[in-house]
Amino acid sequence: MNLLQLLLGSLTTDDSVKQVSKKTGVSSSAVTKLLIAAIPLLISYMTKNASKKDGAQSLLGALLQHTSTNTVSNQIKDADSDDGAKIIAHILGKDQNAIVNNLAAQANISTAQVNSVLNNIAPALLNSLSTATTATAQKPKPSSPKVDLSDGIDLSDLAGLLGGASVSNSNANAAAGLLGSLLGGSSQQTNAGSMANMLGQLLTGTTQQQTTQSASKVDGSELLGLLTALMK
């Protein structure tokens, strides 16, 4: 289980989606489609930002300000959308408008609705990432071999820490499968490499095969590695 699947599992539960729908007026089905397409992109952009030292320190500082242990649905309920807007703008930077337009087309909703949804889930996203980073940094290091984050972190390490959200293998796989269906792929394509390839084709027009490094930018393992290195 990797970070992407974990975040998809917590932010697309029935309670989380219903709370987003209630706050934004966007239908639950559209919210689900949007989050499944948007979360991998947000992870990828955070990884890109964190690849630079000042960017990593800036993101880590933001994570240290988002340490809620409330349930994810309640975090969304109490979310400050203005704070969320600043978070999304910082993550996506100059590409924000293009990405929002693409996401709106895929979810068949307006750009204003996309922004509303993203702004309301952004604080919960940072809280969940903060918890994951802290848990990974505090995880005891085995004498041999060293911790390998190339395939993400185990679900059992973090599922109980993500704001009390219930995350199961079936839910995470279903979310990954829905992503594949949304982007025109097979519902059985649930691996991070396939998702990275589909997202690349959808949002950048590229058709080249994704490398292991680009896949790690989507599954979150590279992001966790960068952030936990700073915390140790």
Amino acid symbol at 128: S
Percentage of the chain modeled with pLDDT above 90: 48
Amino acid symbol at 222: E
Q: What torsion, rounded to 10 degrees, do the Cα atoms 108, 110, 111, 113 define?
A: -100
Q: Is residue 205 over pLDDT 80?
A: no
* Whole-number pLDDT of residue 135: 85
* Whole-number pLDDT of residue 195: 47
Distance in angstroms (rounded) separating the CA atoms of residues 94 and 102: 14
* Whole-number pLDDT of residue 141: 58
Residues 6+ apart with CB under 8 A from 133: 60, 63, 224, 227, 228, 231
* Whole-number pLDDT of residue 189: 40
* Whole-number pLDDT of residue 140: 66
Average pLDDT over residues 40-50: 94
* Whole-number pLDDT of residue 231: 78
Cα-to-chain-centroid distance, residue 83: 17
* Whole-number pLDDT of residue 216: 81
Decide: 113 and 81 in contact? Cβ < 8 Å.
no
- Only one residue has tokens 């990593």, namely 56
Percentage of the chain modeled with pLDDT above 70: 67
Q: Which of 55-59, 95-99, 176-180, 206-210 has the highest mean pLDDT?
A: 95-99
* Whole-number pLDDT of residue 203: 46
Structural domain span for residue 209: 3-231
* Whole-number pLDDT of residue 186: 43
Q: Is residue 211 over pLDDT 70?
A: no
List, for residues 102-142, the tens digit of each pLDDT value: 999 999 999 999 999 999 999 999 999 998 888 888 876 55
Domain count, the chain: 1
Taking the alpha carbons at both ends of the chain, their separation in whole angstroms is: 23
Decide: 84 and 65 in contact? Cβ < 8 Å.
no
pLDDT mean across residues, the chain: 78
Q: Is residue 62 over pLDDT 50?
A: yes
Name the pTM for this structure.
0.70
Distance in angstroms (rounded) separating the CA atoms of residues 216 and 35: 19
List, for residues 151-192, the tens digit of each pLDDT value: 444 444 444 444 444 444 444 454 445 445 444 444 444 444
